Structure 1
Amino acid sequence: MSSVITTLKTDTGFPLPQGVTHLREGINFAVFSRHATAVSLVIDYFSEKNSTPVRKEYVLEPEKNRTGDLWHILILGDLPEFNYGFRMDGPCDKKNSGTFYDNNLILIDPCSRILLPRQWGEPSRYGQIPCCRGVNHEFDWLDDKPPGTPLSETIIYELHVRGFTRNRNSGVSSPGSFKGIVEKIPYLKDLGITAVELMPITEFDENDIFFVNPDTGEKLKNFWGYSPVSFFALNSSFSSEPAGALTEFKEMVRALHKAGIEVYLDMVFNHTGEGGYNGTTSSFRGIDNPIFYLLDEEHEYLNFSGCGNTMNCNHPVVRDLIRESLRYWVTEMHVDGFRFDLASILGRDREGHVLVNPPIIEAIAEDPVLRDTKIIAEAWDAAGLYQVGSFSTDSRWAEWNGRFRDDIRYFMTGAPDSITRLATRIAGSSDLYQQDGRGPLCSINFITSHDGFTLYDLVSYNEKHNHANGENNRDGENHNISWNSGCEGETDNQDIIELRFRRMKSFIVLLFLSQGVPMMTGGDEFARTQKGNNNSWCQDNATSWLDWSLLETHRDFYRFVKKCIQLRKSSTLFRQEQFFSPEDQSIHEQEQARISWQYLLPGQQNWSHDCHGLAFMLSGQEPDGRPTAFFIMLNGHRTNNLRFTLPVIPFGKDSWHLLIDSSAPPPYDFPDDSQAITSDTFKVPSFGTVVLKAD
């Protein structure tokens, strides 16, 4: 590099790669726009003589600085610190072409790696000043290596970077930050999870909403962040020192990897925070509206996202941008996987029609850089397209299994006609994945997520209580498949409290002992509550922040969750890569694990509409050749006890031993030492779950 410059000189530049590239001769800028008639680079830089930034604006000449649809310019020399953006001009012709140019705006480069740092809550200045930072970031990854955890051994923990440690009782020195997550690594290791799934961490404007809490007058914020301004730029407000966000994020990833924990990102490619035409034009709309977004014949936004616009994901330009974003997060930031928000939108064409073989979905699965990366689809969108089980036939794609969530919830509310669906979900959802040759590991099993009730609220509320969101309780899901256990909300009734925790324990057993990949939501392990708010997207307060005092209050429940995770890890019978062998196969001849079902008596099944009980035996060999068997009993009645007759103990084992009885008081709900069962029957109370092991 040459010495620091005081006068900027320019040259033609290069069309690729897009974004900012530091070269030997200087700094190259390249940006896409097909329909713009004029493009300028606006740059603020610091010279040796001035402590305040110097602004320069360079008009890019089409004959010189344009190659196809790419505009480019080279700043000769070195700029240690600068901010930049693009001013674009062209027709503002929504009626005829859908273009929306405004040369008063200074637009964000879609490929910018980081924007101007700001604290959480500080106003953004998108469109007003050059917001992109030109950072030539260096970082010593030391000996960092991805854990490479197989899906069969993966346990996912979904969390919000700010909400995870923002509460003053979190016990960290840097609450609400990437550094706060690092301080919680011993906790995550103790719990037993293998991957953290971070809710959106790319740049978004938390101030872009106008709702107010009607009770307190508090102006609400876009806490969740499902309104991206960029697919590359890190949200610096999640850093303890916003100016050092890139370093702090990488340090977090490195520390998590050292602890054997993978990092997945929740990526939002289906829409952006620009919203409809009345929203803030920060980047894509001002660069090339009809290329980046789906528009109808009147050039209004098609809204399959429910958020005002929909990205044109299968346009080749947008497709390449998405792929380059994913490559960046893997190669530069060392992340291990992605969850794709409203991923069914990735399967729509330029008119919004559903494609048979969507190019972007295939491109992500087949990309050589991403080949070892976990890819998880939220296989639906806000327009009613529901593709769980049919999102892709490629086994590279796993899916958030909404069927698992719903069917487990139905059973655990005492609903009729739930037993067959329950059994299918426990066994890995073969109805969704087997026909295409995929296996149970394509199913990401979950009971709760950020969107909806917490686990504690699922057993404590019949209805949503979202009044604090400022929308007269109209927002949020109405179909929660929940039951309050006999009282809406908080209660001092010990019988109801006992029932709630029994049900939560049964939920946890089903989550971790079913086939597939389990995902839990941060805080469910110590029974956090949102007081019935099932859509806390705008609650940057105690509603959404994890209350770490509950870890002590509900330490027995935490222990139960932790031991269930340990049990899952202890046996491959709960982590099968293939579906079970046929039930009529001889137990001594089987090559794969087997599952066999019964109702109250061995060999007798009851799949009727009004049945509320189910038991099953898992049997097979561990990798070291040890034969293993478990017998699990489930009672979905609201009031009745069920007495199950135990099956013959397989493999010549001596007796059944009690591992779990969710109705027993702690610590006997999951005793440290298993107890031999001397009777040939076992009583299971309503909503109870019992797990036995053959020894």
Structure 2
Amino acid sequence: MPSDPNRPGVTLTREGTHFTVFSRHATHVDLCLYAPSDPSRETARIRMTRGESDLWQAFVPKARAGQLYGYRAHGPWMPGSALRYNPNKLLLDPYALAIVGKPDGSTGMLGTGGTTHFPGAFDNGAEALKSAVVDTYYNWRKDAPPRIPWQDTVLYELHVKGFTQNHPDVPKKLRGTYAGLAHPAVTSYLKKLGVTSLQLLPVHQHLDDQFLLEKGLTNYWGYNTIGFFAPHNEYASNADPTVQVREFKDMVKGLHAAGLEVILDVVYNHTAEGDERGPTLLFRGLDDRMYYRHTFDEHGSNYINITGCGNAVDSATPPTLRLILDSLRYWVTEMHVDGFRFDLAVTVARDHHDNYDANSQFLAAVAQDPVLSQVKLIAEPWDIFRMDSYQVGGFPEPWRELNGKYRDSVRRFWAGDEGSTAEFAKRICGSQDVFGWNQRPALSTINFLTSHDGFTLLDLVSYASKHNEANGEDNRDGDNANHSVSCGVEGPTQDPRVLNLRARLRRSLLATLMTSVGVPFINAGDERGRTQKGNNNAYCQDNELSWIDWSQCDEEMLDFTRRIIALRKSMANLRRTQFFSGQTDPATGIADVTWLEGDASLLCHEEWHDPKRSFFGALLDGQPPVLLLFNRGDLPQTFELPGTNATVWSLIFDTSLVTGFLPPDSRLIEGSVSFQIKASSIACLRLKRGPALANAHC
């Protein structure tokens, strides 16, 4: 690859290595080289040359892959003007492809002397993290990205380490690693489950918070990024930086071979440097003013904390926007990932006035990018502390959005909340009220019930309150509005009635997810009955509380999950790409959706808003038509099945049954007869023959 002085990062050539880093306000920048065999030993220090576009450059003859390096930036110490230069701190390359080391959170990483705001005098070069030069060559031959359409996508969120850390069929040395995730025992399980796309919790290099280390905990989830190009080194089975990058590529290639997409959960909204009391690792020391969002007033500058993490990356400045886009393209073109889920995406989509803007610099750049506009893009459509922080439905195409309204509405319905039925019906129909107003497609909504952030599915029906004592914050952390139920007993129980109700509710929740319009999203382990013992904020629990326990499994729930995913895949009317319109199909004589009362009459407007309403039917047109019956109440309800004496329905599944599913056509219901739907249940019937609807009216 030829040397390019206008390309930030590292370029390997036959003659040596070219280093380029951005800093607008530095007066000098030094490139520091360290010995790969002894990362604490500095072997050379080279004064870099400022080039165009504030890019500092240095060429090192004979420098090869494996070379460790960092930067020292000289300049003014003027915190009130958002300038915090401190040459005593070794800085990471924002474009580093691999990072070596694991800082212990000591004060040597801090850029200030405490409340005095004077530059820390301690030189941390020996102990600091080091960037590594990487040989990027890789043989991608025969790699075949699945390129799964949105309507066929089933997302499955997992943690690279936690998913295989206790897997008995993965070799011990590979457990918790990229290689472990691509092991045949894992891919076989995932394929049999039926999911199509793995959404990996953050794999960018991240840092553990000092306050967690002091409590013997770590930032397990990884939403504390310090390397936008580097795979997290602790998830690799090999210490060599180049081998680590290749192991990640091997993982992607192996998952692709199994037909699975790889979606990365990415954190471009903040970094692990935190506020002014945090460590100086990269952006703060290179150019605090250009990389972070600040407020400026008569008292000086302050970090804008709209992420809850102390800082917000300024994606509206040209160098930062370029870095984010370069990072995204790198993961697509060089690492072959299939898409991204953006943490606190509203922060990344803010303009230079710090306001959310659907036409912001970042969103406009992605929309026209020939690479990024073609991959899966998922927004977490909120941040915090601003009037415009909640933006569900506010992102432009081609974005999809995690639909928090879906999660809350479906939870409220199955928790038995009065007045929740009409809202529930909107959500299972694709949330047209949220996405349709600006011509967004029905598949804009990512429907989810649980995720890493909150209760597991089992805990959602086992705990009325959170139990986060293990986090060491006196149970103050975590969301209090969970819309969860305990089914009469808080936590574990041996009461068979409680256990049966919890199992039924889990089946009903999952069946709702798989029969809703939109893209379904499953939290890893929910299909097995995974519990976090009521902890709804296990971000710091790198232990058995968060890891998948492969020695325990609710086999009935696992079987139901496989079957309900397979059913969705087999029926086009459960994978709609358009919102319902109410239009009648001339071929079948029925509308694309018909809402039914228990006597098979049409469910009319005022009945939807009856606060006591707990049951209804939905007849979906298709080949063949399908009838869904919902009953969130505590008592069974009787439905008169639509049709005539010539109509025959076949019961597909009933979540009141332990197995959920019946053998095909094992229960045929002939004629216009009554069907009893049990409490807290969904039943699904397929039209076998005859008319599906006869003279239904309000």
Q: Do both proteins adopt the same fold according to a TM-score greater than 0.5, normalized to the shorter chain?
A: yes
Letter of the structure 1 residue corresponding to residue 394 of structure 2 = F
* Alpha-carbon separation, structure 2, partners of 1:670 and 1:557: 15
Give the Å deviation of 1:165: 1.3
Q: Which ranges of structure 2 fall in alignment gaps of 5 or more residues? A: 110-123, 689-698
Shift of the 472–604 alpha-carbon distance from structure 1 to 2, 3 Å rule, reads same
Q: 1:690 aligned to 679, 683, 689, which one? A: 683
Q: Name the SS of the counterpart of 1:465 in structure 2.
A: coil
* Alpha-carbon separation, structure 2, partners of 1:559 and 1:84: 51
CA offsets, 1:129-178, max 9 Å, x none? Answer: 46000112321112102111000100000001111111265655421111
Shift of the 84–51 alpha-carbon distance from structure 1 to 2, 3 Å rule, reads closer
1:542-581 equivalence runs, <5 A:
542-551=544-553, 554-581=554-581
Give the Å deviation of 1:292: 0.7
CA offsets, 1:342-393, max 9 Å, x none? Answer: 1111232344233352110121222111232000000011225454443323
Find the counterpart in structure 2 of residue 182 from structure 1. 182
* Alpha-carbon separation, structure 1, partners of 2:639 and 2:391: 34
Find the counterpart in structure 2 of residue 265 from structure 1. 264
* Alpha-carbon separation, structure 1, partners of 2:564 and 2:201: 25
> Are the equivalent residues in 2 in contact too, given 1:644–1:681 (CA < 8 A)?
yes
* Alpha-carbon separation, structure 2, partners of 1:32 and 1:676: 70
> Are the equivalent residues in 2 in contact too, given 1:657–1:693 (CA < 8 A)?
yes
Give the Å deviation of 1:209: 3.3
* Alpha-carbon separation, structure 2, partners of 1:77 and 1:653: 84
Find the counterpart in structure 1 of residue 624 from structure 2. 628
* Alpha-carbon separation, structure 2, partners of 1:130 and 1:439: 45
Q: Name the SS of the counterpart of 2:100 in structure 1.
A: coil
Give the Å deviation of 1:309: 0.7
Find the counterpart in structure 2 of residue 676 from structure 1. 668
Q: Name the SS of the counterpart of 2:20 in structure 1.
A: strand
Find the counterpart in structure 2 of residue 29 from structure 1. 19
Find the counterpart in structure 2 of residue 44 from structure 1. 34
Q: Name the SS of the counterpart of 2:199 in structure 1.
A: strand
> Are the equivalent residues in 1 in contact too, given 2:6–2:52 (CA < 8 A)?
no
> Are the equivalent residues in 2 in contact too, given 1:45–1:79 (CA < 8 A)?
no
Shift of the 542–487 alpha-carbon distance from structure 1 to 2, 3 Å rule, reads same
* Alpha-carbon separation, structure 1, partners of 2:31 and 2:129: 9
Shift of the 172–483 alpha-carbon distance from structure 1 to 2, 3 Å rule, reads farther
Find the counterpart in structure 1 of residue 649 from structure 2. 656
Find the counterpart in structure 2 of residue 56 from structure 1. 44
Q: Name the SS of the counterpart of 2:463 in structure 1.
A: coil
CA offsets, 1:441-498, max 9 Å, x none? Answer: 1110000000000000000001000011000101000100111111111111100100
Q: Name the SS of the counterpart of 1:502 in structure 2.
A: helix
Give the Å deviation of 1:653: 8.1
CA offsets, 1:233-262, max 9 Å, x none? Answer: 110110122323211111110011011100
* Alpha-carbon separation, structure 1, partners of 2:104 and 2:514: 38
Q: Name the SS of the counterpart of 2:72 in structure 1.
A: strand
Greater Cα shift, 190-199 or 179-188 = 179-188
CA offsets, 1:290-316, max 9 Å, x none? Answer: 111111123111100001111111112
Give the Å deviation of 1:22: 1.4
Find the counterpart in structure 2 of residue 533 from structure 1. 535
Give the Å deviation of 1:615: 1.1
Give the Å deviation of 1:664: 1.4
Shift of the 263–234 alpha-carbon distance from structure 1 to 2, 3 Å rule, reads same
* Alpha-carbon separation, structure 1, partners of 2:367 and 2:529: 36
Find the counterpart in structure 1 of residue 415 from structure 2. 413
Find the counterpart in structure 2 of residue 242 from structure 1. 239
Shift of the 347–130 alpha-carbon distance from structure 1 to 2, 3 Å rule, reads closer
Give the Å deviation of 1:550: 2.4
Q: 1:101 aligned to 78, 81, 85, which one? A: 85
* Alpha-carbon separation, structure 2, partners of 1:172 and 1:221: 25
Letter of the structure 2 residue corresponding to residue 77 of structure 1 = K
Letter of the structure 1 residue corresponding to residue 396 of structure 2 = T
Give the Å deviation of 1:436: 1.5
Find the counterpart in structure 2 of residue 346 from structure 1. 348
Q: Name the SS of the counterpart of 1:132 in structure 2.
A: strand
* Alpha-carbon separation, structure 2, partners of 1:308 and 1:278: 9
Letter of the structure 2 residue corresponding to residue 21 of structure 1 = T
> Are the equivalent residues in 2 in contact too, given 1:660–1:671 (CA < 8 A)?
no
Q: TM-score, normalised by structure 1?
A: 0.90
* Alpha-carbon separation, structure 1, partners of 2:310 and 2:522: 30
* Alpha-carbon separation, structure 1, partners of 2:198 and 2:213: 30
Shift of the 617–485 alpha-carbon distance from structure 1 to 2, 3 Å rule, reads same
CA offsets, 1:486-537, max 9 Å, x none? Answer: 1111111100100000000000100111110000000000110000000000
> Are the equivalent residues in 2 in contact too, given 1:38–1:60 (CA < 8 A)?
yes
Find the counterpart in structure 2 of residue 646 from structure 1. 641
Find the counterpart in structure 1 of residue 600 from structure 2. 602
CA offsets, 1:562-619, max 9 Å, x none? Answer: 00000000011111111123255656368xx811111212233130222111210111
> Are the equivalent residues in 1 in contact too, given 2:646–2:670 (CA < 8 A)?
no
> Are the equivalent residues in 2 in contact too, given 1:209–1:222 (CA < 8 A)?
no
Give the Å deviation of 1:23: 2.7
Q: Name the SS of the counterpart of 2:377 in structure 1.
A: strand
1:334-373 equivalence runs, <5 A:
334-373=336-375
Q: Name the SS of the counterpart of 2:182 in structure 1.
A: helix
Q: TM-score, normalised by structure 2?
A: 0.90
* Alpha-carbon separation, structure 2, partners of 1:348 and 1:52: 40
Letter of the structure 2 residue corresponding to residue 144 of structure 1 = D
CA offsets, 1:643-694, max 9 Å, x none? Answer: 1111117xx985111111111122x544455421247111112211111111
* Alpha-carbon separation, structure 1, partners of 2:255 and 2:358: 38
Instruction: Indicate whether 1:326 and 2:323 are aligned.
Output: no
Shift of the 125–85 alpha-carbon distance from structure 1 to 2, 3 Å rule, reads farther
> Are the equivalent residues in 2 in contact too, given 1:427–1:514 (CA < 8 A)?
yes
Shift of the 653–60 alpha-carbon distance from structure 1 to 2, 3 Å rule, reads farther
Q: 2:98 aligned to 99, 102, 114, which one? A: 114
Letter of the structure 2 residue corresponding to residue 464 of structure 1 = K
> Are the equivalent residues in 1 in contact too, given 2:468–2:477 (CA < 8 A)?
yes
> Are the equivalent residues in 1 in contact too, given 2:105–2:210 (CA < 8 A)?
no
Shift of the 491–170 alpha-carbon distance from structure 1 to 2, 3 Å rule, reads farther
Calculate the aligned-residue CA RMSD, in Å: 2.4
Give the Å deviation of 1:205: 1.6
Greater Cα shift, 345-354 or 247-256 = 345-354
CA offsets, 1:414-454, max 9 Å, x none? Answer: 00111111111111111111222221111100000000000
* Alpha-carbon separation, structure 1, partners of 2:290 and 2:39: 40
Q: Name the SS of the counterpart of 1:300 in structure 2.
A: strand
Find the counterpart in structure 2 of residue 219 from structure 1. 216
Would you say how many aligned residue pairs link Structure 1 and Structure 2?
658
Q: Name the SS of the counterpart of 1:365 in structure 2.
A: helix
> Are the equivalent residues in 2 in contact too, given 1:379–1:399 (CA < 8 A)?
yes
Q: Name the SS of the counterpart of 2:612 in structure 1.
A: coil
Give the Å deviation of 1:80: 4.2
1:143-154 equivalence runs, <5 A:
143-154=142-153
CA offsets, 1:304-333, max 9 Å, x none? Answer: 000111111111211111100000000000
* Alpha-carbon separation, structure 2, partners of 1:556 and 1:660: 14
Find the counterpart in structure 1 of residue 395 from structure 2. 392
* Alpha-carbon separation, structure 2, partners of 1:351 and 1:393: 19
Q: Name the SS of the counterpart of 1:68 in structure 2.
A: helix
What is the identity percentage for the equivalent residue pairs of Structure 1 and Structure 2?
38
Q: Which ranges of structure 1 fall in alignment gaps of 5 or more residues? A: 3-12, 213-217, 621-626
> Are the equivalent residues in 1 in contact too, given 2:158–2:201 (CA < 8 A)?
yes
